């Protein structure tokens, strides 16, 4: 009898705390985020069993928003390491990213949107869900949305933003690689570092092995943490450019028409922008001649476009409304000290 | 558990089956136009038509279309206007990234970046569209009006492009291109074909730009070696607008008063065009950047044929404000005022022995046009040997016609 009860509890708990695999594979996205069952407690962003929070060494800047990232891989399946690329995930996997701010008014964390990348038979598909005011659930929004006049806290300061939820096509603009949607973050080179999980320090990829997400620990050197002053300026700057620019500025990416390639592996300094004239920048050149002029950040188009908040000039083209002053300082000093 | 899963899958199947075939999306101007148009562009299924009623659509964000086989149309470029004066996000007014697309009968005004861009599209048609910056020539205007890039099978027909701070019509890194019956006014470059293969540019009017038509090949790009471009039956006249391109851009170096520039392309055939009242030069043939540092870049134009064109009143007031060409032109021509000018820069040995057979420049009288070869190689290298040519007679020979672009 006790055994039977226990069995029922176990089965029930599996049902209750299980991710909705059907929803991930469904051709049509669900109307509500809760339909996928990624969270035990959506409001607190406490993930369901088999949904794991993960961290990136150097993340993409998105208007100072806080990001909670989660990975889900169906039971009995594993992701496979792919050198210098995003992990090769099995069909039915999901990447979940929730954007939030700590509000200036009451210091509470308010969830804005949760973006999903779902791996189906036909490839990855991207959707975004906007949270309701009660923070109970988030709802599918295909055409994007502006959340105006958010006042949030960052580093003790109050900042203001008209936050832009991307539309479905804009998801693809950044996530495009050789005409397919691909995740950007979960590359071994951006995951392979110590994290804290369940009150202990562990290498993140070892943690993924422990949880059965991947098979092996393929040693690939992690990119620099762009904020860590102990790392070299060059490493930090290249890591920053890799994550913030390299997903479009790579062969097969949305910005490949420019011939400007900013991935961390780009060895050709001309392709990296050094003394490279712009191609189709228009007024975004800011009357400057080259993308990067070593020693002269003020003459470098790359920095000029990072500083801008004008949609016809700024880079990245989408995903930000504010300039990232900390990133700008990093790239500024990198160009200033760039060794010819 | 299994039972439950089955139940789930039946439920989700019911959801999936609510497909709709070939729909008409009708949209009218309203406060929700941004959302209406963008939603339609995302939710549309292949084969659908999205129709915009006449009126002004005030849009704050760039639009994008990524569904194949869609017609997006208005009720005419004077009546259906997408106005981006208050644009807050998006690097262009409209971005298309899918295949088999027809855009027709509407206008895009005052986009913050480019007006209409297609990237990586196969079979894209721009029909009877207008792209305009309504304040006239201004450095702050967006770069390109109609901007297909990395696209294949591109038709631009019956369009109007006004006020772009780079090129009104700019076809870049594309293949199989027709630009016809199109008008370009008050842009820096009226119509530009850049790093592209197989283009026919005909029956167009390019007036009051800085330069009427450009056929360019540039270094440091994924696709280069531009070739097989025919430019014919166009009128490229009165292109005397001050160059208002921001510096750093290649067109920023083009002097005002230019009818046509061919730069570093192969196989270009220019015939039956009219070049009138272009104050610097009617047609210029020049090499690309010799010191680009890009080893795969070939800066020398070859197989260029210029014949049966009509020139009038070229070079009466060369522009010294932009680029290095005008000062050299004026110094070497010494009052001659040519209609057609060649910088004469060739691969090293050809400067001694002449152009390779089968690659030579071909001219004819061009209705008594004046020709000048600046012979810049010897001008810079050893002025003792500098011998500019003031007649093109040496280049009069039989034309070998390029194949027309077959419509797809």
Q: What is the DSSP track for A11-61?
A: HHHHHHT---HHHHH-SSPPSBGGGG--EEETTTTEEPTTEEEE--SSPPP
SS3 of A243-268: HHCCCCCCCCCCCHHHCCCCCCCCCC
The string of DSSP letters for B300-340 reads: --EEEEEES-EEES-SSS---SSSSHHHHHHHHHTT---SE
Q: What is chain B's length?
A: 408
Q: Which residues of B touch A277 (CB under 8 A)?
A: 220, 248, 250
Mutate to test the interface with A, among B91, B119, B133, B297 (most CBs of A within 10 A): B91
- What integer pLDDT is reported at residue A16 of this predicted model? 65
Q: What is the pLDDT of residue A282?
A: 86
State yes or no: pLDDT of B136 exceeds 80.
Answer: yes
Q: Is the pLDDT of residue B14 over 50?
A: no
Check A283 against B89: CB less than 8 A apart.
no
Mark yes or no for CB contact A317/B91 under 8 Å.
yes
On the CB side of A83, how many CA atoms lie within 13 Å of its CA? 2
Please state the rounded mean pLDDT for residues B350-375: 94
Interface of A with B in 191-230 (CB under 8 A): none
- B246:A285 CB<8 A: yes
Beta strands at A46-47 and A39-41: parallel, antiparallel or unpaired: antiparallel
Among candidate residues A287, A238, A281, A229, the one with its CA nearest the CA of residue A262: A238
Distance from CA of A49 to the nearest CA of B (A): 17
Give the CA dihedral B150, B163, B91, B139, nearest 10 degrees.
120
Which chain A residues are closer than 8 Å to B65 by Cβ? Answer: 169
CA distance A174 to A253: 8
Chain A residues with beta carbon closer than 8 angstroms to that of B5: 22
| Global confidence as pTM | 0.90
The residue of B220, B250, B322 whose CB has the most chain A CBs within 10 angstroms, and thus the best one to mutate to test that interface, is B220
- pLDDT over threshold 70, residue B7: no
pLDDT tier at A84 (50, 70, 90 boundaries)? confident
For residue B19, pLDDT beyond 70 = no
In terms of pLDDT, which residue wins out, A5 or A302? A302
- The gap from C-alpha A152 to its chain's centroid, in whole angstroms, comes to 20
- Decide if pLDDT at B16 tops 80: no
Beta strands in B137-196 (DSSP E): 144-149, 152-157, 160-162, 167-172, 175-180, 183-185, 189-194
The pLDDT score that the predictor gives to residue B13 is: 40
pLDDT at position A8, please? 65
**Per-residue confidence at B12, pLDDT binned at 50, 70, 90?**
very low
- For A44, A154, A155, A194, B307, the CA distances from A66, given in Å and listed in that order, are 13, 10, 12, 20, 64
Q: How far apart are CA B252 and CA B90, in angstroms?
A: 24
Percent of chain A having pLDDT more than 70?
95
Question: What's the maximum distance between 2 C-alpha atoms anywhere in chain B?
Answer: 94
Cis-peptide, bond into residue A316, ω within 30° of zero: yes
Mean pLDDT: which of B199-208, B217-226, B379-388 is highest? B199-208
What pLDDT band is residue A19 in, cutting at 50, 70 and 90?
very high
Q: Label residue B2 by pLDDT band (50, 70, 90).
A: very low
Chain A residues within an 8 Å CB radius of B38 = 143-144, 167
User: Would you place residue B131 in the very low, low, confident or very high pLDDT band (cuts 50, 70, 90)?
Assistant: very high
Confidence check: pLDDT of B22 > 80: no
Q: The tokens of B115 are what?
A: 């007006």
Residues 6+ apart with CB under 8 A from A47: A38, A39, A40, A53, A70
Alpha-carbon distance B397 to nearest alpha carbon in chain A (angstroms): 36
Q: What is the mean pLDDT of residues B158-183?
A: 98
Q: What share of chain B in percent tops pLDDT 70?
A: 95
CB B173 within 8 A of CB B202: no
Using an 8 Å CB-CB cutoff, list chain B residues near A144: 38, 61
Asked if B172 lies within 8 A of A280 by C-beta distance, the reply is: yes
Best CA proximity match to A106, nearest among A153, A160, A46, A155: A153
- Chain-chain contact of B144 with A283 (C-beta, under 8 angstroms): no
Which residues neighbour B2 within 8 Å (Cβ) at sequence distance 6 or greater?
Answer: none
Q: Do residues A186 and A96 lie in contact, with contact meaning Cβ atoms separated by under 8 Å? A: no
Provide the pLDDT for residue A10: 58
Q: Write out the two tokens for A192.
A: 């392979």
pLDDT band at B18 (very low <50, low <70, confident <90, very high): very low
To test the contact with chain A by mutation, choose from B44, B248, B299 the residue with the greatest count of A C-beta atoms within 10 A, namely B248
pLDDT over 60 (residue B5): no
Orientation angle between helical segments A325-336 and A233-244, nearest 10 degrees: 130
pLDDT at B20: 45
Chain B hits for A305, CB-CB cut-off 8 Å, are: none
The helix or strand, by DSSP H or E, that contains position B13, with its residue range, turns out to be helix B2-16
The pLDDT assigned to B4 comes to 42
Who wins on pLDDT, B8 or A71? A71
Residue range B181-188: mean pLDDT, rounded: 98
Structure tokens belonging to residue A281:
């920048």
CA–CA separation, A130 and A1 (whole Å): 46
Residue B23 has pLDDT above 90, yes or no: no
**Mean pLDDT value across chain B:** 93
Q: Which residues of B touch A16 (CB under 8 A)?
A: none
Q: Other C-beta atoms within 10 Å of B350: how many? A: 15
Contacts of B218 in chain A (CB under 8 A): 279
Q: Is the pLDDT confidence value at B192 over 50? A: yes
Could you say which of A167, A251, A283 has the minimum Cβ distance to residue B246?
A: A283
Query: Mean pLDDT throughout B373-402?
Result: 95
CB atoms B141 and A278 under 8 Å: no
Nearest residue to A331 via CA among A58, A108, A84: A58
Closest Cα in chain A to B189:
A282
Residue A59 scores a pLDDT above 80: yes
The Cα B182–Cα B363 span in angstroms is 27
Provide the pLDDT confidence category of residue A279 given band limits of 50, 70 and 90. confident
How far, in Å, CA of A15 to CA of A38, rounded?
Answer: 12
Could you give the residue ranges of the DSSP H alpha helices within A97-148?
A: none
C-alpha span between B267 and B384 (Å, rounded): 32
Count CA atoms within 13 Å of residue B354 on its CB side: 6
Contact B373, B395 (CB under 8 A): no
CA-nearest residue of chain A to B63? A169
Q: Which of B119, B248, B294 sits opposite A285 (nearest CB)?
A: B248
Q: If you average pLDDT over residues A60-64, what whole number do you get? A: 96
Q: Which residues of B touch A14 (CB under 8 A)?
A: 1
The torsion of the CA quartet B245, B250, B254, B259, rounded to 10 degrees, works out to -100
CA A143, CA A122: separation in Å to the nearest integer?
22
Least CB–CB distance from B249: residue in A14, A251, A281: A281
Dist. CA B266–CA B54, nearest whole Å: 44
* Rg of chain A taking only CA atoms, in angstroms: 21
CB contact under 8 A, A282 and B142: yes
Could you give the angle at the alpha carbon of B203 between the alpha carbons of B202 and B208, nearest 5°?
100
Q: Kindly report the average pLDDT of chain A as a whole number.
A: 92
What are the chain A neighbours of B120 within 8 Å (beta carbons)? 179
Q: What is the H or E stretch that residue A69 is in?
A: strand A66-72
| Residue of B236, B119, B82 lying closest to B168 (CA atoms) | B236
**Tens digit of pLDDT for each residue in A34-43?**
999 999 999 9
Q: Is A271–B220 a contact, with Cβ atoms under 8 angstroms apart?
A: yes
Chain A, nearest residue to B293 by Cα: A270
pLDDT digits (tens, 9 = 90+) for B395-408: 999 999 999 999 98
Instruction: Domain ranges for chain B, please list them.
Output: 133-395
CB atoms under 10 Å from CB of B13, counted, come to 11
Question: Is the pLDDT assigned to residue B307 strictly greater than 90?
Answer: yes
Q: How many CB pairs under 8 A join A and B?
A: 151
Q: Is A289 at the interface with chain B, CB within 8 A?
A: yes
- Substitution target in A311, A319, A321 with the highest count of B β-carbons within 10 Å is A311
Contact: B246, A280; criterion CB under 8 Å: no
Query: Closest Cα of chain A to B142: distance in Å?
Result: 7
Chain B: give the shortest CA distance to residue A227, in Å. 28
Residue A107 near residue A113, CB atoms below 8 Å: no
Cβ proximity of B231 and B278 under 8 Å: no
Q: Are strands A123-131 and A109-120 parallel, antiparallel or unpaired?
A: antiparallel
pLDDT given at position A14: 57
Structure token pair of residue A257: 């028409």
Q: Do the Cβ atoms of B275 and B310 come closer than 8 Å?
A: yes
Q: Is some CB atom of chain B closer than 8 A to the CB atom of A318?
A: yes
Token duo for residue B173: 């890194």
Between positions 8 and 27 of A, the ones with CB within 8 A of B are 11, 14-15, 20, 22-23, 26-27
Compute the nearest-CA separation of B206 from chain A (Å).
20
For residue A109, pLDDT beyond 80: yes
Q: Does the distance separating the beta carbons of A282 and B249 come in below 8 Å?
A: yes
Residue of B nearest to A319 (CA): B89
Query: A13 pLDDT band (50/70/90 cuts)?
Result: low
Closest CB to B87: pick one of A170, A277, A311: A311
Packing angle, helices B33-43 and A168-175, rounded to 10:
60
Q: Do A311 and B41 touch (CB under 8 A)?
A: no
**A115-150 residue pLDDT tens:** 999 999 999 999 999 999 999 999 999 999 999 999
Which single residue is written with the structure tokens 């074909």?
B193
Give the closest of A22, A167, A258 to B12, CB-based.
Answer: A22
Per cent of chain B over pLDDT 90 is 89
Residues 94-133 on A with a CB inside 8 Å of B are none
Which residues in chain A have their CB less than 8 angstroms from residue B59's CB?
Answer: none
* pLDDT tens digits, A171-214: 888 898 888 999 999 999 999 999 998 899 999 999 999 999 99
**pLDDT for the residue B1:** 39
**Is residue A191 classed as helix, strand or coil in its secondary structure?**
helix
For chain B, helix, strand, coil in percent to 5 are 15, 40, 50
CA dihedral sign, ordered A230, A235, A236, A237: positive
**Contact check, Cβ <8 Å, B1/A14:** yes
Report whether B168 contacts B209 (CB < 8 A): yes
């Amino acid at each position: 009898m006790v055994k039977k009860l226990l069995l029922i509890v176990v089965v029930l708990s599996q049902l209750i705390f299980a991710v909705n695999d059907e929803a991930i594979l469904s051709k049509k996205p669900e109307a509500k985020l809760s339909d996928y069952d990624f969270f035990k407690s959506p409001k607190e962003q406490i993930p369901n069993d088999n949904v794991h929070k993960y961290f990136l060494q150097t993340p993409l800047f998105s208007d100072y928003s806080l990001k909670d990232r989660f990975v889900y891989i169906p039971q009995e399946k594993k992701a496979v390491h792919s050198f210098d690329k995003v992990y090769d995930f099995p069909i039915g996997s999901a990447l979940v990213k929730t954007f939030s701010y700590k509000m200036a008014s009451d210091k509470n964390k308010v969830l804005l949107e949760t973006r999903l990348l779902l791996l189906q038979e036909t490839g990855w598909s991207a959707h975004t869900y906007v949270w309701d005011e009660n923070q109970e659930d988030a709802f599918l929004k295909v055409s994007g949305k502006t959340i105006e006049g958010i006042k949030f806290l960052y580093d003790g300061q109050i900042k203001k933003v008209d936050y832009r939820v991307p539309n479905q096509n804009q998801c693809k603009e950044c996530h495009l690689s050789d005409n397919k949607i691909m995740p950007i973050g979960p590359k071994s080179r951006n995951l392979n570092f110590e994290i804290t999980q369940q009150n202990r320090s562990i290498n993140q990829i070892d943690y993924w092995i422990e949880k059965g997400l991947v098979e092996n620990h393929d040693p690939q050197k992690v990119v620099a943490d762009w904020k860590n002053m102990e790392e070299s300026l060059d490493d930090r700057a290249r890591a920053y450019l890799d994550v913030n620019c390299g997903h479009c500025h790579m062969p097969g990416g949305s910005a490949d028409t420019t011939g400007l390639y900013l991935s961390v592996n780009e060895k050709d300094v001309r392709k990296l922008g050094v003394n490279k004239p712009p191609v189709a920048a228009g007024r975004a050149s800011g009357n400057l001649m080259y993308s990067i002029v070593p020693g002269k950040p003020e003459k470098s188009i790359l920095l000029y476009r990072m500083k801008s908040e004008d949609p016809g000039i700024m880079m990245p083209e989408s995903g930000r409304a504010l300039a990232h002053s900390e990133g700008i300082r990093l790239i500024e000093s990198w160009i200033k000290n760039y060794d010819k | 558990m299994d039972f439950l899963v089955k139940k789930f899958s039946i439920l989700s199947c019911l959801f999936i089956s609510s497909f709709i075939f070939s729909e008409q999306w009708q949209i009218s101007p309203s406060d929700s136009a941004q959302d209406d148009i963008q939603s339609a562009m995302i939710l549309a299924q292949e084969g659908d038509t999205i129709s915009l009623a006449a009126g002004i659509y005030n849009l704050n964000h760039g639009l994008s279309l990524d569904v194949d086989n869609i017609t997006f149309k208005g009720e005419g470029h004077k009546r259906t206007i997408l106005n981006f004066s208050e644009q807050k996000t998006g690097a262009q007014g409209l971005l298309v990234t899918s295949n088999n697309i027809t855009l027709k009968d509407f206008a895009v005004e005052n986009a913050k970046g480019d007006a209409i861009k297609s990237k990586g599209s196969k079979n894209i048609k721009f029909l009877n569209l207008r792209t305009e910056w309504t304040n006239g020539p201004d450095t702050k205007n967006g770069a390109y009006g109609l901007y297909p890039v990395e696209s294949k099978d591109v038709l631009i027909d019956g369009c109007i492009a006004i006020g772009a701070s780079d090129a009104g019509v700019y076809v870049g890194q594309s293949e199989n291109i027709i630009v016809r019956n199109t008008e370009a006014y008050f842009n820096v470059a009226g119509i530009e074909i850049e790093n592209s293969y197989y283009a026919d540019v005909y029956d167009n009017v390019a007036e009051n730009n800085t330069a009427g038509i450009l056929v360019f090949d540039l270094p440091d790009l994924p696709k280069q070696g531009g070739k097989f471009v025919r430019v014919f039956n166009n009128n490229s006249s009165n292109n005397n607008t001050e160059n208002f391109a921001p510096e750093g851009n290649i067109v920023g170096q083009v002097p005002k008063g230019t009818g046509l520039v061919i730069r570093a392309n192969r196989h270009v055939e220019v015939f039956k065009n009219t070049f009138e009242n272009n104050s610097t030069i009617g047609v210029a043939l020049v090499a690309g950047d010799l010191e680009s540092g890009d080893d795969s870049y070939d800066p020398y134009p070859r197989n260029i044929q210029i014949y049966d064109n009509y020139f009038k009143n070229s070079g009466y007031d060369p522009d010294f404000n932009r680029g290095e060409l005008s000062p050299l032109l004026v110094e070497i021509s010494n009052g001659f005022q040519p209609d057609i000018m060649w910088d004469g820069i060739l691969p090293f040995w050809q400067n001694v022995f002449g152009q390779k057979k089968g690659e030579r420049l071909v001219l004819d009288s061009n209705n008594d046009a004046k020709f000048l070869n600046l012979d810049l190689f010897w001008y810079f290298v050893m002025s003792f040997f500098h011998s500019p040519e003031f007649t093109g007679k040496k280049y009069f020979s039989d034309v070998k016609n390029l194949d027309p672009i077959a419509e797809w």
